[in-house]
Structure 1
Amino acid sequence: MSKFLATFSQTYLSKVRAKSFMISTAIIVLLIFVGANFDKIINIFDSSEEITTLNVESEDAFYAQFEAVMEPIETDFDIAQNDGEIGDTEALLRVDGMEPLAVTLEADQEIPGSQMNDIEMALGQVQRMMTIQSLNLTQAEAERLNASPDITYDIAGQDGGDGEASESAAEAGEMPDINPLNTVVFYVTVIVMFFIIINYASQIGTEVAMEKTSRVIEMIVSSVAPVTHLLAKISAMISVSLTQLAIFIVAILIAIQLFDFSEIISDFGLEANNQTVTMITYSVIFLILGLILYLSIAAMLGSFISRMEDLQQALLPVTMFSLIGFYIAIFNIWGSADSLLVRISSYFPLFTPFVMPLRAMHEETGQAPLLIGVAILLVSIILAILLAASIYRNSVLSTSNGIFKNLKRIKKE
């Protein structure tokens, strides 16, 4: 145990003290704080000053309609009838014509885009109201203008009665209603996992391969068992990646405590729903298990080679499978979480860390598939570590050139 801890601590400390680790961590933390103040940074570069009052020059009937439409819109300026003067932070909305509606918006400074959008949206609603009135439409006829079409889906392969088939077909044909906050959690999980896997898989493969190619391993195995040495290396690299991940999470929590996210939350609708806690919990679980699985496989592949020139070739499966899993998850987020591709790939161990968080976004997935995914990863991690230890023990002192030559020799043994 003491030899394991010695190798573990030496590898762990050398990695966390490396300049590359510190610089990359500092850059990501900086980006987190920049993202937390994104709206404030935009305002710094936005030279336009918000207006405080919108004066309306029109007939009383139009003003009453416009004021009623603007009332439910959460604006940061007041509405008033024109008093003949425009202040420095005021704007004038002058109605030039009623049928069709024509207006002129005057101001002495540039109006921010958010305020312009509020005014344009309100004018559009007033225009629709005036059109309905001019056509003398009844309430029922007016409601028909905004009614959605009644679509019945008759799709082959749908089971159940007429009502159930129609409902499930509609669900298959319509775009899913995805919570924006859950979407952000999913994207962050998948992107962070992909880049950490690519980074640390290369590092642990290099760490293992460099010892073999430099023949330092001959001195190491004289005092430490090869399997103990490899497991210490794998544990240390996994701990380094989790340390960096923990720093990112702490930075996010600090940013949440220090900065006001109310404006960003309101602008993007980032509100939690019933699935958010489940989504975050399983995302963290699959992120950690995915890192452990891929880093264990990278250590196993690094054990095959005896020359540094073969390292990239050996690590190609890690890059390829992680990239495929990443694309399957990203390109199916707006599709059905119950599609055949998503369901099959979510149970394939190398794709599970990427695809299962996608299925966790949807309530219809249930707990059973998610727990099965966790079990698959745990079993895969155990098998990968055992296989890596076996390969490393049999090839640690090998000088054979080429991956396939080492593989044939190991199979014979």
Structure 2
Amino acid sequence: MNSLWTVMSFTMRTKLRNKAFLITTLVLAILLVVVGNLPTLLNKLESDKATKVGYVQGNHDELIQGLTVYYAKQEKPEVALVASNSEESLKTKLDDGDIKGYVTFEDNAAVGFPDVVYHAKSSLGSSTAQSLTLGLQVVKNDLVVKGLGLTPEQEALLNAPVTVKQEQVRFTNEAGKTPEEEGTAIGMTYIMIILLFMAVMITGQLIATEITAEKSSRVMEIIVTSVSPLKQMFGKILGTFVVGVTQMAILVSALVLNLVQQHNIDALKDMGVDLGAVDPKLIVFAVFFYLTGFFLYATLFAAVGSIVSRTEDLGQAILPITMLTLAGFYIAIFGLSHPEHAFIRICSFIPFFAPFLMFLRIGLTEPPVWEIALSIGILLAAIVLIGWLSAKIYRTGVLMYGKRPSFKELFKAMKAYKV
């Protein structure tokens, strides 16, 4: 046990004194401070000024008047209409930056309503064009209704908006999540997925790199005479884990301390996110899946690092693990908008993807208790099995030099050792 602690403490001191590690942590913390204040920054950068759109005066003035009334009813008008004498003068204003675009009308007797063209410097997807489309649709409906000679009561009934409220169905006695709670859950799930991905990629590669560097410098031959290979492996994993958790604690604190500022809380509420609506059970699951995901991948990185003799070959050796991590991350990103998809449900039982996907399902949906228990059981069993297998590989690999051993050579060597 003393030797295990010695390896842990040495790994921790080495990492915490590393200038690159400290600089990286500082830079990431500064970036997260900016991210934590992003809601307020976005609110301040959001322009309340309406987009100026030109039109030729005297051309379909009835439609222009209807659009003017439509935008006047908005709390924050999206468009401000600017009159001009000709299309040439509109082009000049567009070139000078006085307007963002202008509209022209072409009569269409077949539909009884003119075709409208929005001219701008870029024809790519424009929110202004979409806003004009909605506004003109309202104007067209008003003109058709007036032509039918309906009473004011009938017009009011026809134009009354239809309200559709969203509510999550819960199959327990608990109430369904409100839109604010769902928005908060999505945000927390997204952050958890990114943190787990960062932890696996950064700390896992640190473990593999350190082990390979010790082998390539022949320091490993000295270490194994005083510390058993198994204590080396788990000491490095636990030491790197403590360092990784410390780094994550600093980064999460930098983010949370800024998000809980009142100006950011108000800005988030405007976006439909309420930090006070975070479910405590979701935090517990976040910590659990973070820990299990880290140890699952850390043992794999340690095992692969032990069979590589040169650091130049490490990138190729850990590529399969990196691809597994990327697959879990991108499937989870897909699952944010499709949490009930059959593919997501199936993958949530695969141990390499479970830390990402089962947490996502818990955060965004209501999976049955037996599915959660089954996924966690498979994940814990996989950690034990992969940990045992990685220990055998590590014990064998740290003393095998030269070219990377084949699976047959590795298997024969592993049979000689018992773990």
Question: Which interval holds the TM-score relative to the shorter structure?
Answer: 0.5 to 0.7
Whether the 8 Å CA contact 1:181–1:276 is kept in 2: the answer is no
Of 331, 348, 351, which residue of structure 2 is paired with 1:349?
351
User: Please, which runs of 5 or more residues in structure 2 have no aligned partner?
Assistant: 51-65, 77-112, 114-127, 165-178
Q: Secondary structure at the match of 2:366?
A: helix
Q: 1:42 to 1:257 in 2, by over 3 A?
A: closer
Q: Secondary structure at the match of 2:196?
A: helix
Give TM-score, length-normalised by structure 2: 0.67
Q: Deviations over 1:360-409 (max 9, x none)?
A: 13343133322333333222222222222222222322224114265244
Of 287, 291, 294, which residue of structure 2 is paired with 1:288?
291
Q: Secondary structure at the match of 2:296?
A: helix
Q: 1:261 to 1:41 in 2, by over 3 A?
A: closer
Cα distance, 1:143 vs structure 2: 4.6
Of 379, 382, 401, which residue of structure 1 is paired with 2:381?
379
Residues in 2 aligned to 1:403 and 1:263: alpha-carbon distance in whole angstroms: 59
AA matched with 2:295? I
Q: Deviations over 1:3-61 (max 9, x none)?
A: 11111111011112212221221122112221222254457767x7989xxxxxxxxxx
Q: Secondary structure at the match of 1:319?
A: helix
Cα distance, 1:263 vs structure 2: 3.5
Please tell me whether residue 202 in structure 1 is matched to residue 195 in structure 2: no
Q: 1:42 to 1:411 in 2, by over 3 A?
A: closer
Please tell me whether residue 299 in structure 1 is matched to residue 314 in structure 2: no
Q: Secondary structure at the match of 2:20?
A: helix
Q: Deviations over 1:227-247 (max 9, x none)?
A: 111110111111111111111
Of 227, 233, 236, which residue of structure 1 is paired with 2:236?
233
Of 324, 327, 346, which residue of structure 2 is paired with 1:321?
324
Q: Secondary structure at the match of 2:239?
A: helix
Moved more, 309-318 or 401-410: 401-410
Whether the 8 Å CA contact 2:302–2:390 is kept in 1: the answer is yes
Please tell me whether residue 9 in structure 1 is matched to residue 9 in structure 2: yes
| Residue in 1 that maps onto 2:105 | none
| Residue in 1 that maps onto 2:21 | 21
Cα distance, 1:348 vs structure 2: 0.6
Cα distance, 1:128 vs structure 2: 9.5
Residues in 2 aligned to 1:310 and 1:407: alpha-carbon distance in whole angstroms: 17
Q: Secondary structure at the match of 1:347?
A: coil
Q: 1:374 to 1:242 in 2, by over 3 A?
A: farther
Whether the 8 Å CA contact 2:348–2:375 is kept in 1: the answer is yes
CA RMSD of aligned residues (A): 4.0
AA matched with 2:33? F
| Residue in 2 that maps onto 1:394 | 396
Whether the 8 Å CA contact 1:189–1:284 is kept in 2: the answer is no
AA matched with 1:142? L
Moved more, 12-21 or 403-412: 403-412
Q: Secondary structure at the match of 1:365?
A: coil
Residues in 2 aligned to 1:358 and 1:244: alpha-carbon distance in whole angstroms: 23
Whether the 8 Å CA contact 1:275–1:361 is kept in 2: the answer is no
Q: 1:334 to 1:140 in 2, by over 3 A?
A: farther
- Count matched residues: 330
Residues in 1 aligned to 2:201 and 2:252: alpha-carbon distance in whole angstroms: 20
Whether the 8 Å CA contact 1:186–1:358 is kept in 2: the answer is yes
Q: 1:380 to 1:140 in 2, by over 3 A?
A: farther
Cα distance, 1:351 vs structure 2: 0.7
Cα distance, 1:141 vs structure 2: 7.8
Q: 1:218 to 1:315 in 2, by over 3 A?
A: same
Of 250, 255, 260, which residue of structure 2 is paired with 1:252?
255
Whether the 8 Å CA contact 1:11–1:236 is kept in 2: the answer is yes
Identical aligned pairs, as a percentage? 31
Q: 1:25 to 1:371 in 2, by over 3 A?
A: farther
Residues in 1 aligned to 2:371 and 2:253: alpha-carbon distance in whole angstroms: 30
Cα distance, 1:206 vs structure 2: 0.9
Q: Deviations over 1:301-354 (max 9, x none)?
A: 11222232331222112101111111111113212x333211111011101111
Residues in 1 aligned to 2:257 and 2:6: alpha-carbon distance in whole angstroms: 34
AA matched with 1:196? A
| Residue in 1 that maps onto 2:217 | 214
- Please give the residue correspondences for 1:76-155 in structure 2 after superposition, counting only pairs within 5 Å: 134=146, 136=150, 138-139=153-154, 142-143=157-158, 146=161
Q: Deviations over 1:286-314 (max 9, x none)?
A: 12221121111110111222232331222
Whether the 8 Å CA contact 1:182–1:272 is kept in 2: the answer is no
Whether the 8 Å CA contact 1:179–1:272 is kept in 2: the answer is no
User: Please, which runs of 5 or more residues in structure 1 have no aligned partner?
Assistant: 52-61, 76-99, 101-115, 150-175
Residues in 2 aligned to 1:20 and 1:371: alpha-carbon distance in whole angstroms: 40
Whether the 8 Å CA contact 1:296–1:385 is kept in 2: the answer is yes
Q: Deviations over 1:149-173 (max 9, x none)?
A: 9xxxxxxxxxxxxxxxxxxxxxxxx
